[in-house]
Structure 1
């Protein structure tokens, strides 16, 4: 969250609320946003209670897992005015990141890494933040209205905001679905101190479809519109800091950063067109790289390879943990086993533990002898050796 700093001294341009809304929309589209919507920042009591109830139910069920911050400042998450009491309008901004090809095809390439579409280009937080600040600067410089900028970094429920602004609706997979862009939208928000005419809110168009629920490898949806993050592969490979539960590891397949399954199968994607934002275009080295190549990364090479991407945020050890699980799932001992054996001596206990599990799958006949010879000091890694078949 950031406030656009005051700079110029030229007088503000007078504009009616409709003119201001239209000018903001036109400038946002000119700057590369794909969709713009406006909603009141002042919620009706019933709408506020419903948002708060859904968030509280999620937290009370423990579905947030390690993401403890979701249980903090719930009042602020449910109501923009708890973040900034001068807020009168929410401007919901969206950037399309639809892929050019089927992102699920890589799941059949078991010796290569499946990296979520959103993470294959530049870090979307930085792309969105840059665009939002430029738009905020335009509003301040031209009209002198105070504002705040948000992009996934503050307790603001961006998907309900986007739905209220007509951008789309929260589908059964809990992500935003758009009739123009399918399930492939990054979201950001501006809170404005001026009241502007709102766009009609979007309604749910999922109908009887449940393709996103059926395809989930780990059955992370207890019910439509409900997500248990503790079973979600995106959560497990990105947010979860420790070893992943043994029952879930085989279900990861070769997904080492995020999971696109529920997004990619959405029928509304047929209306999406390929992303036009060049900064989000996939980097060649992030499009199905060999797992054995990624397993060899130390901290320095990890940082260099993923500089400027969202992947760098999770750190080398968590990333290589994911790679080790994928190597175990590869069913390719000839190529994967040497890489896994090297990881058995990794400085990180998190990586060593994952490598033990992978070794037990790739070389079950050798596990007893290797377990007898190991001199492991970390208790969690020792437990992995004991649990290995």
Structure 2
């Protein structure tokens, strides 16, 4: 959990973090999560998140941070994860005693104590059922911006309903991680925002309303448990009196809708129409501002957090930095400088030589293995000369990004 405070000039005046494994060892998480025995189910304990918030605010208080100067607050949460509030919890949230840390007041408030998160891939059967109910994967993508994905919230809710109908019945509200965090500050249930809500397989991205066929396919009575979605930049209301009394926040401090981590990246990088951003990590992520999207079977279309009338596209490529590092190690003795020199020594277009490099099963597109082709479109084995191999990797990766972005409606 990270906190950052900025002034009106956008200068950072305070930052800190709580590390789940190290600072909250009593929850016994690894990387902030529990990986279950089936290796598919991945969850995080909800109370760990609440306790981390208590901890970070106490750290700020003891450092002398002046909470009364905070005018507004917003945040970002990992997409897709969900929190299940037990019936009657709204009253406990509203009336939490400022004498107690919040995690103590809320400890009995969750019908599901371990929240499913974005790493979970245990809902394959629910995904198939949802696509079938909506008339196929492409039709579901056309309505919600994405085909059915195992980590997406609608499929997680469907699993909880089918496996534990009693637990679902006891649930009065379902929050995303982002709207859950906003609820803690608001003292009432915060609505889900359009942008993070687009990662659920439940929101009609064109009408910005829940899709009844999707809701019905996942669980009964779901609409009232989700509440009405709102634009991502909505001011939700003033901060809960709990924080004014316990930490000295001004009662006028505004809570702005929280959103998902990917939409927040688009907003934070201040992307505008026609811009494209690429995050080169273990997985490569590409996101862009888009006016007229065409949802496809690969990638995601989400409502734009900055401008509710436009959209953002998100593409994830699993074979990112680890693939580049392997070719660097094989072709340039593990040196990025040598890698760059070799890349510069070959011409753009690589004399027609092209490669697709997938060490692990790729998601965009579904493919695996190393595939090399020469200018005559013939397969090349075993490999290209080292400098040709390096350019084939880089050009192949970036051409794939452009092609899949164009499929989603991006115009160069």
Q: TM-score range by the shorter chain?
A: under 0.3
Q: State the TM-score, normalizing by the size of structure 1.
A: 0.25
More helix by percentage? 1
Question: Normalised by the size of structure 2, how large is the TM-score?
Answer: 0.24
Higher strand share: 2
With a CA cutoff of 8 Å and minimum separation of 6, indicate the structure with the bigger relative contact order: 1
